[in-house]
Amino acid sequence: MERLKHDLVIVGSGIAGLRAAIEASRVSPSLSVAIVTKVQAMRSHSVCAEGGTAAVLYPELGDTVESHVFDTVKGSDYLADQDAVERFASMIPSEVYQLEHWGMPWSRREDGRIAQRDFGGYSHPRATFAEDKVGFYEMQTLYDTCTKFPNIVFYQEWFATSILVEQGEFGGITAIEMKSGEFASIAAKARIIASGGAGRLFSFATYGHSSTPDGMSMALRAGIALKDMEFFQFHPSGLIPSGILITEGARAEGGVLLNKDGERFMKRYAPGKLELASRDVVSRAIITEIEEGRGFRDGDGLEYVHLDLTPIGAQKIKERLNGIRELAMKFNDTDPIERPLPVRPVCHYTMGGIDVDIGGATRVKGLWAAGEAACVSINGANRLGANSTAECLVWGRITGAAAAEYAMKRSDTSPSDGQAAKEEKRIFDEIFHGKGGTNPYEVRDELQRAMDEGAYVFRTGEGMAEAIRVVKRLKAQDYLHCDDSSRRYNTNLTNVLEVESLLLAAEAFLAGAMARTESRGAHSRRDYPRRDDVNWLKHTLAYHTAEGVRLDYSPVKITRFQPAERHY
């Protein structure tokens, strides 16, 4: 076992992880900061973000931070912690300008100032964008900035496997160098988990295949709760049949949703905002149209509606949605300048995540989480578009500074080898040399089918109970083994570890969803169709135990906005 040491280790190289590394280095350039990522840094899933980063940039035009706070709280179906939302909305404008100073090529208005577009659930245009490739450009800007700090070290294609905790305090992590297959412990004074969401629980998803809940799984096994995991966002416009995201910016620029009768059906569901209602509202509308026979069906039986971008016009599509056009032509053989695109709701975002406080700190001293891996919570039961990249920037900055200050004050740490040796034995003796007979890839596929059928846009107790039975059966099977005996780039081994993480996250998800007997935001139960503030205005906390998931609850922080019925 190789032994390495840094002051701060960040797991994940997306927007949150890179922003945290930069901020930690700004606090103290002498700190040794390690970024551990299982992919090449610029292949982190953040590069796929398309639509924008929400921020109030032009108060002189009538927008206000308070309006951003209210829209976010309303969009969350009043499950967001309002103190966190207030902090978020007040900090994000400076992050947008900071990115510009680092070289971010924001799209521009005719007067040369930064451009913004409307987005679902907002009362003002505040989605700051860079064509339809905002995630890629933000990642490139942050990665380039990281290279200016010699104290930041990248461990690319290293798979983190566990958190080392001694007496309630973080001491380091364990990881596998995928190139060699060697196991290592990395001692550190502080750590930030920025490893992304759990969207690969579903087969039809906008996530890259590497976007599995590894950081969430590590937190669960370290005794940290996952908060509000029952709330998964389904983006209204996943391209058929791939699930590739068609950005909300397409509807913001003038795209319309049509059923098979050519009807702009959103007028029935959200007459005020139409296609720019919140994502949970639009997704439910699409599924309702399909279920009531007003959708299309392709030769493989896939049902969908049309997203018609032709009203936008060829020139504007080429200027602001060119990436979407390229994707549609490549993966669906459809030019949106000429014909509508086939779309249906697709798993897109994990509103829940690792339980953290307003500063991103977990219950383990010296351990923070940021971005989609964490649940602060600003998204509650439903996230507004363009708030995700914004959240990554804000809590990347917050956790980077906090972790750096903590590391500077903490004495040198060298965790005992006991936990690391135990993890090495688990991975290599029990999995790498395991002799199980169940195909782990079949386990993953069956899990995704169960989630697609039991926990999609609409849910029932019966459907989720069946999904829970499937997950328990899959966990009991002997899938923890590796048929590839090589050490170098053994993706079979890392895939098995990812399946293990998916099953743990699925358990937390389904336990919380089954217990929550109401409909709120993206959690829409047909057997409990109404929101129940009396019994369920609270956060779900899911803990991992040997006997299964243990649920607890915590109050929602309400400051200014009392819960009210949502209308768009």
Q: Which pLDDT band holds residue 418 (cuts at 50, 70, 90)?
A: confident
Least confident of 81-90, 435-444, 528-537: 435-444
Q: Which pLDDT band holds residue 301 (cuts at 50, 70, 90)?
A: confident
Q: Which pLDDT band holds residue 411 (cuts at 50, 70, 90)?
A: confident
Query: Annotated active-site positions, please?
Result: 235, 251
CA distance 201 to 243: 14
* pLDDT surpasses 90 at 230: yes
Q: What is the pLDDT of residues 148-164, one digit of tens each?
A: 999 999 999 999 999 99
Task: Provide the pLDDT for residue 353.
Answer: 97
Mean pLDDT calculated for residue range 241-259: 94
Work out the number of other CB atoms within 10 angstroms of the CB of residue 529: 10
Task: Provide the pLDDT for residue 350.
Answer: 96
Q: 276: helix, coil or strand?
A: helix
CA distance 493 to 496: 5
Q: Which pLDDT band holds residue 349 (cuts at 50, 70, 90)?
A: very high
Please give the model's pTM, rounded to 2 decimal places.
0.95
Question: What's the per-residue H, E or C state across 382-440?
Answer: CCCCCHHHHHHHHHHHHHHHHHHHHHHHCCCCCCCHHHHHHHHHHHHHHHHCCCCCCCH
Q: What are phi and psi of 20, to 5 degrees?
A: -65, -40
* pLDDT surpasses 80 at 416: no
Do the beta carbons of residue 81 and residue 554 sit within 8 Å?
A: no
Do the beta carbons of residue 298 and residue 241 sit within 8 Å?
A: yes
* pLDDT surpasses 80 at 413: no
Q: What is the DSSP letter of 480?
A: -
Mean pLDDT of the chain: 95
* pLDDT surpasses 80 at 107: yes
Task: Provide the pLDDT for residue 130.
Answer: 95
Tell me which residue of 28, 17, 89, 37 sits closest to 360, measured CA to CA.
17
Any alpha helices (H) in 151-274, and if so which ranges?
214-221, 249-252
Task: Provide the pLDDT for residue 542.
Answer: 98
Q: 31: helix, coil or strand?
A: coil
Q: What is the pLDDT of residues 167-197, one digit of tens each?
A: 889 999 999 999 999 999 999 999 999 999 9
Q: What is the pLDDT of residues 480-520, one digit of tens each?
A: 999 999 999 999 999 999 999 999 999 999 999 999 999 99
Do the beta carbons of residue 222 and residue 173 sit within 8 Å?
A: no
Contacts of 324 (CB under 8 A, 6+ apart): 50, 132, 246, 247, 250, 309, 317, 336
Mean pLDDT calculated for residue range 301-316: 95
> How many residues would you count in the chain?
568
* pLDDT surpasses 80 at 414: no
Pick left, alpha or beta for residue 149 (phi over 0 → left; psi -120 to 50 → alpha; otherwise beta).
Answer: beta
Do the beta carbons of residue 264 and residue 226 sit within 8 Å?
A: no
Rounded to whole angstroms, what are the CA distances from 40 to 135, 205, 421, 539? 16, 21, 27, 35
CA distance 362 to 375: 10
Mean pLDDT calculated for residue range 458-487: 95
